[in-house]
Amino acid sequence: MSNIEPLCVGDDCEVLLNFTLSLTDGTVVDATEENQPMRLRIGDGSLIEGLEKSLYGMKAGDHQCLSIGPRDAFGFPDDTNLHEMPRAEFSEDIELQVGLIIGFSTPAGDDVPGTIKDLKDDIVLVDFNHPLAGREIIFDVEVLSVKRVDS
């Protein structure tokens, strides 16, 4: 019998895991594929901080299902992220409708999603908040392995 304690998830760890991220109504918004777990290094930005922090202290073989509120998940909606845009700025190939999520490029070259919130004659109201902002999420995660990595 070994007296070696299993390694817990913490700083300077690489973690292999399976997860499902869903809304409280059961709608799955993200998940690992069968036989294709996610490998991440704690702090690398692969997971938002609230999800990553929920892994701390888990060991290989551990499983947990957590309800995570907006504060620790994708934040709360911010009205300053609502922008009116001229309809002419959208390609005629796109059938604009409320709820449609479109990718936009920022002046810095980053890609960000925007959700169509309202359509008026020549104006489109676009919400640049994260699509899950303000939502409680369910994070169902199983840790497959944990290993220490050098900083």
d(CA 102, CA 33): 24
> In the chain, where are the structural domains located?
13-74+133-148, 79-127
CATH fold group of domain 79-127: Thrombin, subunit H (2.40.10)
Q: Which two tokens stand for residue 108?
A: 């810095």
Give the per-residue pLDDT at 110: 86
| DSSP H stretches of helix in the chain | 49-55
Of 128, 14, 12, the residue nearest 74 (C-alpha) = 128
User: What percent of the chain is modeled with pLDDT above 70?
Assistant: 97
Averaged confidence pLDDT in the chain:
92
d(CA 68, CA 41): 21
What does the pLDDT look like over 54-106, one tens digit per residue? 999 999 999 999 999 999 999 999 999 999 999 999 988 889 999 999 998 88
d(CA 63, CA 37): 14
CATH C-level class of 13-74+133-148:
alpha beta
- Taking 90 as the threshold, does the pLDDT of residue 2 lie above it? no
- Taking 80 as the threshold, does the pLDDT of residue 19 lie above it? yes
